[in-house]
Amino acid sequence: MAFAMKVTSQVEAQRKILEEAVSTALMLASEKSDGAEVAVSKTTGISVSTRYGEVENVEFNSDGALGITVYHQNRKGSASSTDLSPDAIARTVQAALDIARYTSPDPYAGVADKDLLAFDAPDLDLFHPAEVTPDEAIELAARAEQASLQADKRITNTEGGSFNSHYGIKVFGNSHGMLQGYCSTRHSLSSCVIAEENGDMERDYAYTIGRALGDLQSPEWVGKECAERTLSRLSPRKLSTMKAPVIFANEVATGLFGHLVGAIAGGSVYRKSTFLLDSLGKQILPEWLTIEEHPHLLKGLASTPFDSEGVRTERRDIVKDGVLTQWLLTNYSARKLGLKSTGHAGGIHNWRIAGQGLNFEQMLKEMGTGLVVTELMGQGVSGITGDYSRGAAGFWVENGEIQYPVSEITIAGNLKDMWRNIVTVGNDIETRSNIQCGSVLLPEMKIAGQ
């Protein structure tokens, strides 16, 4: 407790320094610009890695930067600095002003509307400093790795265990008088090993992450999970080319909905470069499926009281009963579209996709025969057409039971069809992502094999 109080007081002192830096930059910019916004961040922490129980790396990080954007006669200029001294801040402000003189006027450029700003940012319980010495961090990483290595004699090599613990401070201010900040922590533990059988070598990993150290799984859980995942991949087979049902396991199902983020981003909409251009207010998912956004989820890994433009974040439905209700708008894209910012500058904030009550084993039974995808490779997804084609690995299922691992296959479809035809979403919710959802069953995809 004494340690936490000490770190908290240190962080509060650092936060005040950052707030002063933001105030100084805004004051200097106000004399020569129509508007300005300043963001400053600082991250401090430790990263360690082990291999065969020996220390491979111990790294202490302390990184910070200030970025300023000024607007003058609809011209925009931006500059940044890692030096927060008064002289450096003055030079950075002047650099932004100089750049603004040479950019083209843009009527949509400017600071976010005052009525959208988070002048009173809520505490989201994101700051949980941990009293971890380098020796203790090394021990945690080594225990996770050791649990993997001891699990089975077929595990013949290791890429190591790793532990990370960092705290961050973010402060944002603009010429409307907003000056807000918050502190956060993030701790993680992982293991990665290689297994070998009959000349075949496979690797996999496992990890745990959280805002508080006490929210992490144990090193032994991480090691055991890593070993099981790696062993399950041994002796993969190839599939013949076919069409079959597909389950996206929860860890890759999050990415299936991640493609929606780009497709409904305001920038894609005003550029008319999305396959969902005419889909606002229309059904894009099954009627039983809703995507909720919870930016103020306590301890949430993607929680934030305001976006990177200072706009307050709010609980909202992105998709309601299958119908797209929302574009994801920054200040600029909103103005281009004649709308208001939705607080999505910098990304999304804790999407939640509720399952239908089936666990993973029940989903296998529901599918009967088909493919479970646990890994995806490549970037074969078009944001313009929705065409989807990616390398994949996973497991072949018959009669509701996993038969053998598969690799070196490609799965293909179109996201519009894939989303609309989702059969069910499982209750095995993946919580380590900014999109929280369970496994997803699709009725059919093209599978290209040998």
SS3 419: helix
Contact (CB, 8 A) for 296 and 352: no
Cα–Cα distance between 222 and 191 in angstroms, integer? 7
pLDDT single digits (tens) 330-376: 999 999 999 999 999 999 999 999 878 899 999 999 999 999 999 99
Q: What is the mean pLDDT of residues 445-450?
A: 92
Cα–Cα distance between 305 and 346 in angstroms, integer? 12
Beta bridge partners of 265: 328
Cα–Cα distance between 402 and 41 in angstroms, integer? 47
- Sign of the torsion angle spanned by Cα atoms 109, 110, 111, 113: negative
Nearest to 448 by CA among 399, 380, 386: 380
- Compute the mean pLDDT over every residue in the chain, rounded to the nearest whole number: 96
Domains of the chain in sequence order: 14-231 (3.30.2290.10), 236-255+354-448 (no CATH)
Q: What is the pLDDT of residue 151?
A: 95
Q: What is the pLDDT of residue 357?
A: 84
Confidence of residue 5 (pLDDT cuts 50, 70, 90): low
Q: What percent of the chain has pLDDT over 70?
A: 99
pLDDT single digits (tens) 103-162: 999 999 999 999 999 999 999 999 999 989 999 999 999 999 999 999 999 999 999 999
**φ and ψ at 316, to 5 degrees?**
-155, 160
pLDDT single digits (tens) 7-26: 778 898 999 999 999 999 99
One-letter amino acid of 378: G
Q: What is the pLDDT of residue 4?
A: 56
Q: 283 pLDDT exceeds 80?
A: yes
Contact (CB, 8 A) for 182 and 53: no
Q: What percent of the chain has pLDDT over 90?
A: 95
Cα–Cα distance between 349 and 313 in angstroms, integer? 8
Cα–Cα distance between 97 and 93 in angstroms, integer? 6
SS3 311: strand
Of 6-20, 186-200, 380-394, which range is least confident?
6-20
